[in-house]
């Protein structure tokens, strides 16, 4: 019964998910993902300068960049490159710098659940709202979603590939999915503190 429920949830995720491609309109991606609300102006400027000019990104802004998400990050870089002010820049150089900044931030940000159970399991907003607002269902492929789910709620390890997808998913989406799962009657007997670890 539980495996049927899991399969139906994962199937729903796949059927409702979409993959963002570079060919898509960045304005549409930004609007669909509520990107403009996910990063402070100061950090937006800092990340922008580090990609299109020079400079580093602070840990605080790396944290915000990971919450911002790869989909929004890529859409803003693409949108900026479409601006006539930046037409003379090498798109391949900017793409490399963008990937480098993303990877650097992903490596310095502690995306693992915090030691505080309440901070991990109880997001301020409803988990369904977080999942919807952040388009969480579009950020991880089904095999990796299944692998991460199994490692949390049963047993097993997460491959490097799926760890990468988990980073792209982001902590807010991850925590919202965990909370939603824990609200399901099938998992009511699980210890929230054990899951948060």
pLDDT tens for residues 143-174?
Answer: 888 888 888 877 778 888 888 888 888 877 88
Asked if residue 66 and residue 52 are part of one domain, the reply reads: yes
Closest alpha carbon to 110 in 157, 63, 67, 74: 63
* Same domain, yes or no: 74 and 121: no
* Whether 148 and 95 share a structural domain: no
Q: How far apart are CA 161 and CA 95, in angstroms?
A: 21
Q: Is residue 3 part of a domain?
A: no
Residues 123 and 149 in one domain: yes
CB 98: neighbour CB atoms within 10 A? Answer: 21
- Whether residue 140 is found in the same domain as residue 183: yes
Ramachandran class of 69: left when φ > 0, alpha when ψ lies in -120 to 50, beta otherwise: left
Please check whether residue 99 is in contact with residue 78, taking contact to mean a CB–CB distance below 8 angstroms. Answer: no
131: containing domain: 112-196
Section 123-147 average pLDDT: 77
Distance CA 3, CA 162 (A): 21
* Greatest C-alpha distance within the chain: 59
Query: Could you tell me if 164 and 176 lie in one domain?
Result: yes
Looking at per-residue pLDDT, the higher value among 1 and 60 belongs to: 60
Question: How many separate domains does the chain show?
Answer: 2
89 & 116 share domain: no
pLDDT digits (tens, 9 = 90+) for 13-61: 333 333 334 447 888 888 888 888 889 999 999 999 999 999 899 988 9
Task: From 87, 108, 129, give the residue that closes a domain.
Answer: 108
13 within some domain: no
Is the model's pTM score more than 0.85?
A: no
pLDDT at 104: 87
Which secondary structure element, helix H or strand E, spans residue 28, and what is its range? helix 26-32
* DSSP secondary structure code for residue 58 in this structure: -
């Amino acid at each position: 019964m539980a495996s049927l429920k899991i399969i139906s949830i994962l199937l729903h995720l796949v059927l409702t998910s979409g993959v963002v491609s570079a060919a898509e309109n960045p304005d549409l991606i930004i609007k669909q993902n509520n990107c403009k609300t996910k990063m402070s102006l100061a950090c937006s400027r800092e990340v922008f300068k580090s990609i299109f000019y020079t400079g580093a990104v602070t840990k605080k802004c790396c944290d915000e960049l990971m919450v911002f998400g790869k989909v929004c990050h890529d859409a803003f870089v693409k949108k900026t490159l479409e601006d006539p002010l930046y037409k003379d820049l090498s798109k391949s150089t900017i793409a490399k710098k963008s990937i480098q900044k993303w990877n650097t931030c992903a490596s310095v940000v502690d995306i693992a659940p915090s030691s505080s159970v309440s901070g991990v399991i109880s997001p301020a907003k409803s988990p369904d709202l977080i999942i919807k607002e952040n388009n969480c269902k579009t950020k991880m492929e089904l095999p990796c979603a299944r692998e991460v789910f199994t490692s949390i709620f049963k047993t097993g390890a997460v491959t490097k590939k799926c760890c990468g997808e988990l980073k792209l998913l982001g902590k807010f989406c991850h925590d919202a999915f965990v909370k939603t799962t824990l609200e399901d009657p099938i998992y009511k007997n699980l210890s929230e503190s054990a899951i948060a670890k």
